[in-house]
Every structure is written in structure tokens, then in C-alpha cells.
Amino acid sequence: MGWRASVINEHLARKGVRMPFPGPAHCFSRTDIETLTPGQHGCYGLFFRSVWIYIGKGDIRQRLLDHLNGDNECINRYRPSHWMALVTDDADRLEHELIQEHLPLCNQIAN
């Protein structure tokens, strides 16, 4: 984790912001994303400060790289600074619950 991610983790903890993923936040950069092992499936979230921009699921490394490369106009518009992820076999349920709870700016909740 880079120093910027460490600073954002400390800042969010001081403000009492509850993060929906365990572990540290990582910078939304190619360098940090490429540290992930390919083929890990689960749920991930992109945010800026304490605002959730997008929550998704799939091959975490690949999906984050896709977003970094500009595959989603909404994500590009809000320019996330950090990401968090959880490897899980229950990504469908977790994604649905997190979207309902945190209402990310770029997710559309299906009825």
C-alpha cells in the first residue's frame, strides 16, 4: 500500500466512515492494481474520499484494469482515487447488498 492509500485509510478512520470491505484501501493506479493475482473473483468498490463511485464483481484485477482503461464513462467522470476488494464465492449477493447500502454514483439498482 502506498503512502497515499495509508493517508486515506487514516483519514476515513478518524471521520468514523465505515468501509464495506475489510483491509486497506489501494490507490486506483495501474501499479497497485497489477499487484493483484489474476483470476481472483469477488467484489470490489471504487471511491473518492468517502463517496462510493462504483461497486462491481468479477475477476477483480481484470475489472479494475478495464475501469482504469476507461470502459465506463460514469466512472471516468467521477475519477475514483482508491479501490477496495474482497475475494469471495458469493460476489452476486455481496455486490447487491453493498449497492443497496452505499448507493454508488455509477450503479443502477435493478428491481
What is the per-residue burial (b if ≥16 Cβ within 10 Å, else e) of 50-72?
eebbbbbbbbbbebbbebbeeeb
Q: What is the DSSP letter of 66?
A: H
The CATH number of the structural domain formed by 3-102 is 3.40.1440.10
- The 10s digit of each residue's pLDDT in 49-88 is 889 999 999 999 999 999 999 999 999 999 999 999 999 9
Residue 98: other Cβ atoms inside 10 A:
22
Residue position matching grid coordinates 483491509: 23
pLDDT tens for each residue of 4-35: 445 444 554 555 555 678 778 999 999 999 99
Domain segments of the chain as ranges: 3-102
Place of cell 470490489: 44
Predicted structure pTM score: 0.82
